[in-house]
Amino acid sequence: MTMRPGSAALVLLGLVAGCSSAPPTRVDVIRPTPPPGPGPAPAIEGPAAANVVWALRGGLNVAALLCKDQIITAGYNRMLKVHRSLLDDVYAAEQARYRQQFGSAGIARHDVAMTRLYNGFASVPDRRRFCTAATRILDEVLAAGSADVPRMATRALTTLEPGAMRLVNSAG
Protein backbone atom coordinates (compact mmCIF):
# COMPACT_ATOMS: atom_id res chain seq x y z
CA MET A 1 0.00 0.00 0.00
CA THR A 2 1.39 3.41 -1.00
CA MET A 3 0.82 6.44 1.24
CA ARG A 4 0.61 9.95 -0.06
CA PRO A 5 3.23 12.36 1.26
CA GLY A 6 2.09 13.93 4.50
CA SER A 7 -0.48 11.21 5.33
CA ALA A 8 1.96 9.46 7.67
CA ALA A 9 2.26 12.67 9.66
CA LEU A 10 -1.52 12.93 9.96
CA VAL A 11 -1.79 9.34 11.20
CA LEU A 12 0.97 9.98 13.74
CA LEU A 13 -0.76 13.16 14.94
CA GLY A 14 -4.00 11.24 15.39
CA LEU A 15 -2.25 8.57 17.46
CA VAL A 16 -0.48 11.10 19.65
CA ALA A 17 -3.70 13.05 20.20
CA GLY A 18 -5.47 9.86 21.24
CA CYS A 19 -2.88 9.27 23.98
CA SER A 20 -3.38 12.56 25.73
CA SER A 21 -5.38 12.53 28.92
CA ALA A 22 -6.85 16.04 28.73
CA PRO A 23 -9.58 16.88 26.29
CA PRO A 24 -8.45 19.20 23.50
CA THR A 25 -8.67 22.87 24.31
CA ARG A 26 -11.05 24.87 22.20
CA VAL A 27 -9.33 27.60 20.27
CA ASP A 28 -11.34 30.48 18.90
CA VAL A 29 -9.97 31.87 15.70
CA ILE A 30 -10.14 35.65 15.61
CA ARG A 31 -9.86 37.00 12.14
CA PRO A 32 -8.57 40.56 11.90
CA THR A 33 -10.86 42.96 10.15
CA PRO A 34 -9.36 44.27 6.96
CA PRO A 35 -8.38 47.93 6.92
CA PRO A 36 -10.97 50.25 5.43
CA GLY A 37 -10.66 50.87 1.75
CA PRO A 38 -9.85 54.25 0.31
CA GLY A 39 -12.47 56.89 0.64
CA PRO A 40 -13.25 60.06 2.49
CA ALA A 41 -12.56 60.15 6.19
CA PRO A 42 -15.73 60.00 8.24
CA ALA A 43 -17.09 63.28 9.52
CA ILE A 44 -16.76 63.87 13.23
CA GLU A 45 -19.74 63.48 15.44
CA GLY A 46 -20.68 66.82 16.87
CA PRO A 47 -18.96 70.18 16.60
CA ALA A 48 -15.35 70.67 17.58
CA ALA A 49 -14.51 72.96 20.43
CA ALA A 50 -13.54 76.53 19.62
CA ASN A 51 -9.88 75.72 20.29
CA VAL A 52 -9.86 73.13 17.50
CA VAL A 53 -11.48 75.47 14.98
CA TRP A 54 -9.06 78.24 15.97
CA ALA A 55 -6.10 75.85 15.69
CA LEU A 56 -7.26 74.82 12.21
CA ARG A 57 -7.31 78.47 11.21
CA GLY A 58 -3.82 78.83 12.65
CA GLY A 59 -2.53 75.81 10.72
CA LEU A 60 -3.98 77.14 7.49
CA ASN A 61 -2.43 80.53 8.25
CA VAL A 62 0.98 78.89 8.57
CA ALA A 63 0.36 77.04 5.29
CA ALA A 64 -0.45 80.34 3.56
CA LEU A 65 2.89 81.72 4.74
CA LEU A 66 5.05 78.60 4.52
CA CYS A 67 3.95 76.95 1.29
CA LYS A 68 4.59 79.96 -0.94
CA ASP A 69 1.59 78.92 -3.03
CA GLN A 70 -0.72 81.63 -4.34
CA ILE A 71 -3.68 79.22 -4.39
CA ILE A 72 -3.27 78.51 -0.67
CA THR A 73 -2.76 82.19 0.17
CA ALA A 74 -5.82 83.25 -1.83
CA GLY A 75 -7.88 80.40 -0.33
CA TYR A 76 -6.84 81.33 3.20
CA ASN A 77 -7.74 85.00 2.68
CA ARG A 78 -11.08 83.99 1.17
CA MET A 79 -11.74 81.66 4.13
CA LEU A 80 -11.18 84.58 6.52
CA LYS A 81 -13.86 86.57 4.69
CA VAL A 82 -16.37 83.75 4.11
CA HIS A 83 -16.21 82.46 7.70
CA ARG A 84 -15.49 85.77 9.45
CA SER A 85 -18.40 85.54 11.88
CA LEU A 86 -17.52 81.97 12.90
CA LEU A 87 -13.84 82.86 13.34
CA ASP A 88 -14.72 85.96 15.38
CA ASP A 89 -16.92 83.78 17.62
CA VAL A 90 -14.32 81.05 18.18
CA TYR A 91 -11.61 83.64 18.86
CA ALA A 92 -13.83 85.34 21.44
CA ALA A 93 -14.61 81.95 23.01
CA GLU A 94 -10.90 81.11 23.20
CA GLN A 95 -10.06 84.46 24.79
CA ALA A 96 -12.85 84.01 27.32
CA ARG A 97 -11.74 80.45 28.10
CA TYR A 98 -8.16 81.57 28.75
CA ARG A 99 -9.31 84.52 30.88
CA GLN A 100 -11.52 82.20 32.92
CA GLN A 101 -8.78 79.61 33.29
CA PHE A 102 -5.80 81.92 33.92
CA GLY A 103 -7.31 85.23 35.00
CA SER A 104 -5.38 88.33 34.01
CA ALA A 105 -2.59 86.17 32.55
CA GLY A 106 -5.06 84.49 30.19
CA ILE A 107 -4.34 86.54 27.08
CA ALA A 108 -0.57 86.13 27.48
CA ARG A 109 -1.02 82.35 28.05
CA HIS A 110 -3.15 82.16 24.89
CA ASP A 111 -0.42 83.96 22.93
CA VAL A 112 2.18 81.46 24.20
CA ALA A 113 -0.05 78.52 23.28
CA MET A 114 -0.66 79.92 19.78
CA THR A 115 3.08 80.51 19.27
CA ARG A 116 3.72 76.88 20.21
CA LEU A 117 1.01 75.75 17.79
CA TYR A 118 2.36 77.94 14.97
CA ASN A 119 5.89 76.67 15.58
CA GLY A 120 4.62 73.10 15.44
CA PHE A 121 3.01 73.72 12.06
CA ALA A 122 6.06 75.59 10.79
CA SER A 123 8.33 72.64 11.56
CA VAL A 124 6.32 69.86 9.92
CA PRO A 125 8.63 67.09 8.67
CA ASP A 126 6.94 66.74 5.27
CA ARG A 127 6.23 70.20 3.92
CA ARG A 128 4.94 68.93 0.55
CA ARG A 129 2.32 66.73 2.24
CA PHE A 130 1.38 69.61 4.56
CA CYS A 131 0.89 72.04 1.65
CA THR A 132 -1.06 69.51 -0.41
CA ALA A 133 -3.32 68.81 2.58
CA ALA A 134 -3.80 72.56 3.17
CA THR A 135 -5.01 73.00 -0.42
CA ARG A 136 -7.58 70.21 -0.06
CA ILE A 137 -8.74 71.40 3.37
CA LEU A 138 -9.18 74.98 2.18
CA ASP A 139 -11.30 73.69 -0.71
CA GLU A 140 -13.48 71.75 1.77
CA VAL A 141 -13.76 74.61 4.25
CA LEU A 142 -14.64 77.08 1.50
CA ALA A 143 -17.30 74.74 0.12
CA ALA A 144 -18.84 74.30 3.58
CA GLY A 145 -21.17 76.64 5.37
CA SER A 146 -19.89 78.17 8.59
CA ALA A 147 -22.21 75.92 10.60
CA ASP A 148 -20.47 72.87 9.11
CA VAL A 149 -16.87 73.93 9.77
CA PRO A 150 -16.86 72.93 13.46
CA ARG A 151 -18.08 69.44 12.48
CA MET A 152 -15.15 68.97 10.11
CA ALA A 153 -12.48 70.81 12.13
CA THR A 154 -10.90 67.90 14.04
CA ARG A 155 -10.62 65.71 10.95
CA ALA A 156 -9.28 68.61 8.90
CA LEU A 157 -6.77 69.56 11.59
CA THR A 158 -5.40 66.04 11.93
CA THR A 159 -5.28 65.70 8.15
CA LEU A 160 -3.27 68.90 7.96
CA GLU A 161 -0.85 67.67 10.62
CA PRO A 162 -1.41 64.32 12.39
CA GLY A 163 0.22 65.54 15.62
CA ALA A 164 -1.74 68.79 15.78
CA MET A 165 -4.27 67.60 18.35
CA ARG A 166 -1.45 66.85 20.78
CA LEU A 167 -0.41 70.52 20.52
CA VAL A 168 -4.00 71.72 20.86
CA ASN A 169 -4.65 69.53 23.90
CA SER A 170 -1.43 70.60 25.61
CA ALA A 171 -2.14 74.28 25.04
CA GLY A 172 -4.41 74.65 28.01
pLDDT 10s digits, 104-129: 999 999 999 999 999 999 999 999 99
Instruction: Provide the CB-side half-sphere exposure for 88 (13 A, CA).
Output: 5
Helices within 33-126 (DSSP H only): 50-66, 70-82, 84-102, 106-122
**Quick check: is 98 in a domain?**
yes
- Compute the distance between CA of residue 91 and CA of residue 95 in angstroms, rounded to an integer: 6
Q: Would you state the torsion angle of the CA atoms of residues 43, 39, 118, 120, taken in this order, to the nearest 10 degrees? A: 120
| Res 168: pLDDT | 82
**Quick check: is 40 in a domain?**
no
**Quick check: is 13 in a domain?**
no
Name the DSSP letter for residue 93: H
| Res 164: pLDDT | 87
| Res 11: pLDDT | 42
**Quick check: is 120 in a domain?**
yes
Q: What are the pLDDT tens digits along the chain (172 aa)?
A: 555 555 444 443 444 444 444 444 443 334 333 334 333 333 333 456 899 999 999 999 999 999 999 999 999 999 999 999 999 999 999 999 999 989 999 999 999 999 999 999 999 999 999 999 999 999 999 999 999 999 999 999 999 998 888 878 876 6
**What is the tally of helices (H) and strands (E) in the chain?**
8, 0
**Quick check: is 37 in a domain?**
no
* pTM score of the predicted model: 0.71
Secondary structure (3-state) at 69: coil
**Quick check: is 1 in a domain?**
no
Number of domains present in the structure of the chain:
1
Structural domain of residue 140, as residue ranges? 50-170
| Res 3: pLDDT | 52
CA distances from 71 to 53, 121, 146 (A): 21, 19, 21
| Res 78: pLDDT | 97
| Res 23: pLDDT | 44
- Compute the distance between CA of residue 113 and CA of residue 89 in angstroms, rounded to an integer: 19
**Quick check: is 3 in a domain?**
no
